[in-house]
Structure 1
């Protein structure tokens, strides 16, 4: 049992940590429903639709999986972050778990069968009671996450021994299925590499990959807080931003303001902000961009003003949205960094005053963004800069190692060079 607990404690490092448990419910709800009944129904639904459903689906194509470099993804954003590798490494293929939602890329990702995962659910109750001994409150709150995680490691280590990939490249280091694949790869003696795909939190697990390709000093400093770093580290910037560097915003005038929101933001606060902004700035266009996982009904907000339009995060890439705006307003969101990289002036404005997750990513502390404590401050700030929008992309140097260097816009070249040396 101690061996099982140690393994799953590593797999669930983030979600059963004290730091994650201390986050506002709006943040935790994105992983595990706040309401106990919904949490229970999630487990029931997972059991019926995915565990049982997987038994009757043939999804693997062994001839495509054997001996290749696997680009293991758990989301659409992961796929976008690793897409540049596919053309640079001829033997690279995208791989995901059987029923994992990869958004618009669902049909083009190679799948690993998880039908045998159900065979390992005899471990759930012993693990559940063991976790209760060590982390009672967190286990009671996130038992559904534990339930979901059971069996990934056991199935993945079988798959790795069967298909023997040359290496596995990850864009996620903290989701349970990704961590299960990482630990299975280490046990099977398969090389692992990690390419950072989003902003880092000190709550993340320590880096355990053989090669770690990070965007900049910020990520490295935060990972050092997480614990000892295994493997080699290189700072390579953000490959997925390369194609957009030529399109950095050069306008000094503010014509369009974007508001990026996510599940941590309160819908009524978003509505209040839009009503105030459209009243005070009637000639400005506004684009509202909910996070791709945010399924709340935003339709009513479109009736506030004809100057409001929407960006669908499920179909429009983040950087395409950012190309259309001059100013980006968000609360705690990694989109601030992507905005600044395109020289879009980004402003921190809290859209969840009930659960103030102040400066979660450290963007204010490090001077990446400007911050406004209230709407009056935001209104004055915008009025002062409507005809003189600041240039901001150099602020991203701490976060992106290639900004202002000869490799600005060529991060993918650096990453491929390191990966080829690593795999050969």
Structure 2
């Protein structure tokens, strides 16, 4: 029994135990799992007290019927945007998330699955932790708070599936602990599952385990093939969430507006240095800094020094709304590069100072999707070149990542994906 519990919990957290994830800098890991063991313990106690006990007293009033519906399971606002087209086109499709999961600006439209009984399963924690310490070693101790959080999801979700008996469950995330728990629960309860890719993927992701897998392009398929055996049907459908924006592609022939996307891996000093040099070197260009939605830094010194510097809030403005206001993008490892290229923006890979994460994580540079600048001088040279002339068909570089580019289905990925989902549901 305990061996099965350990194996299942390890499955839920396999991404967290990967060498690349374990090696991420503290600035990235701390918001997820603090480096200090005492802080991890406080987090565990806080989760158990404020969240789990709080769930027991928080009423759940879903606005939509979950019985027999097609569940669209989401763990973030990006997931909602990836699956919204299914909700719009099928009257039986409902957005679903765990009881306390924060879904950003879409919190109010997501139905909730009760997690009140999750407390009943925490007797498993010592046994699971001991088993994972033997199996994984140091990473299990480093992430014991994440192990604690993962306990009970599988059992609770199996119970919910037996109660509601959804027709199918569609996912946009295949590696978060709660999403994987629901996937395993669906497999145990014989509920059909589908997956719609919501962002570029990595070779450290879990193997695809869905009945229907809708991927954006050949890049995703090639990477998933390296993750392990692929089960279920695979279809390449492009990027459904981009359909509405592909006909608004940037047609400027000169770069005048530049977006800078910063993520949690980017050191503050490196971002500040790059912004300072760019604004000083290109006073006639308009620059907009867009921090990652989980970034708590306010960059107050940049606001004070450069009042002309604009800011985009990822919590309030969608990535496409942001990109439509730019002619070029500068960023390190982020799937925003692909979205920028699809909109015909110049996109430049630039690492803001020293980083420990994998270089060119998504392979965008290696596959010729975007340009790369290794030094401030190279960055300035590239940007200067594109202020003189911006090529009109940069978006064609994205064909390896987005299967519909240059085909009759370009700009119609939603219709294509919906057709495959409808056919699959009819035969499931």
Q: Which of the five TM-score ranges fits, normalised by the shorter chain?
A: over 0.9
Q: Which residue of 2 aligns with 1:231?
A: 232
Q: Which residue of 2 aligns with 1:347?
A: 348
Q: 1:141 to 1:175 in 2, by over 3 A?
A: same
List alignment gaps of at least 5 residues for structure 1.
Answer: none
The alignment status of 1:400 with 2:406, answered yes or no, reads no
CA contact (8 A) 1:62 1:163 kept: no
- Give the whole-Å Cα distance in 1 for the aligned partners of 2:125 and 2:357: 35
Structural RMSD (CA): 1.4
- Give the whole-Å Cα distance in 2 for the aligned partners of 1:77 and 1:302: 27
Cα deviation, residue 87, structure 1: 1.5
DSSP 3-state at the match of 2:247: helix
The alignment status of 1:94 with 2:95, answered yes or no, reads yes
Structure 1 stretches of at least 4 aligned residues deviating more than 6 Å after TM superposition:
none
Q: Which residue of 1 aligns with 2:171?
A: 170
Cα deviation, residue 36, structure 1: 3.2
CA contact (8 A) 1:82 1:171 kept: yes
- TM-score, normalised by the number of residues in structure 1: 0.97
Cα deviation, residue 30, structure 1: 5.0
The alignment status of 1:41 with 2:24, answered yes or no, reads no
- Give the whole-Å Cα distance in 1 for the aligned partners of 2:280 and 2:38: 41
- Give the whole-Å Cα distance in 1 for the aligned partners of 2:298 and 2:100: 26
Cα deviation, residue 27, structure 1: 4.1
Q: How many residues align?
A: 424
1:409 aligned residue (408, 411, 428): 411
The alignment status of 1:191 with 2:192, answered yes or no, reads yes
DSSP 3-state at the match of 2:409: coil
- Give the whole-Å Cα distance in 2 for the aligned partners of 1:109 and 1:170: 14
Superposed CA deviations along residues 388-418 of structure 1, whole A, max 9, x for unmatched, are 0123111110000001111111000010000
CA contact (8 A) 2:290 2:313 kept: yes
- Give the whole-Å Cα distance in 1 for the aligned partners of 2:353 and 2:308: 24
| Pairing of 1:2-151 with structure 2 (within 5 A) | 2-61=3-62, 64-151=65-152
Q: Which residue of 1 aligns with 2:423?
A: 421
Superposed CA deviations along residues 164-184 of structure 1, whole A, max 9, x for unmatched, are 000000000000000000000
DSSP 3-state at the match of 2:388: coil
Superposed CA deviations along residues 97-138 of structure 1, whole A, max 9, x for unmatched, are 000000111111100110000000000110000101011111
Cα deviation, residue 2, structure 1: 1.2
Cα deviation, residue 56, structure 1: 0.5
Q: Which residue of 2 aligns with 1:291?
A: 292
CA contact (8 A) 1:196 1:213 kept: yes
| Pairing of 1:211-226 with structure 2 (within 5 A) | 211-226=212-227
The alignment status of 1:262 with 2:263, answered yes or no, reads yes
DSSP 3-state at the match of 1:55: helix
- Give the whole-Å Cα distance in 2 for the aligned partners of 1:330 and 1:30: 22
- Give the whole-Å Cα distance in 1 for the aligned partners of 2:291 and 2:307: 18
- TM-score, normalised by the number of residues in structure 2: 0.96
Q: Which residue of 1 aligns with 2:283?
A: 282
CA contact (8 A) 1:68 1:166 kept: yes
- Give the whole-Å Cα distance in 2 for the aligned partners of 1:356 and 1:116: 38
When structure 1 is superposed on structure 2, of 78-87 and 292-301 the one drifting more is: 292-301
The alignment status of 1:330 with 2:331, answered yes or no, reads yes
Cα deviation, residue 34, structure 1: 3.0
CA contact (8 A) 2:348 2:373 kept: yes
Cα deviation, residue 60, structure 1: 4.8
Superposed CA deviations along residues 171-227 of structure 1, whole A, max 9, x for unmatched, are 000000000000000100000000000110100000000000000000000000000
